[in-house]
Amino acid sequence: MLARESASLTEAVTVSSTPVACDGDVASDLGHPRVFLDIPQGGSAVCPYCSREFVLAEGASSGQGH
Ligand SMILES: [Zn+2]
């Protein structure tokens, strides 16, 4: 078994719907133009600007519901 790694520099952000808008971390210098990231069901998406990872919460709608 592999030891638990702590290589991840950014915490994954759990969201309840997709696509998710990311415009960076306004509290730091990582702000960037707003982008929309489509998260596959059961998967995750990484923002190309700030490398933040977004994961879809369990049971979240994929935007296709009513
Ligand atoms: Zn971002």
How remote is the CA of residue 48 from the centroid of ligand 1, in Å? 7
Closest CA to 38 of 63, 13, 14: 63
Q: What is the CATH number of domain 13-61?
A: 2.60.260.40
Element (H, E) at 56: strand 53-61
How remote is the CA of residue 1 from the centroid of ligand 1, in Å? 33
How remote is the CA of residue 11 from the centroid of ligand 1, in Å? 12
Which pLDDT tens digit goes with each residue over 7-66? Answer: 445 679 999 999 999 998 766 666 899 999 999 988 899 999 988 999 998 876 555 555
How remote is the CA of residue 57 from the centroid of ligand 1, in Å? 18
How remote is the CA of residue 63 from the centroid of ligand 1, in Å? 20
Report how far residue 22's alpha carbon sits from residue 55's, in angstroms, rounded to the nearest whole number: 13
> Which pLDDT value is given to residue 60?
63
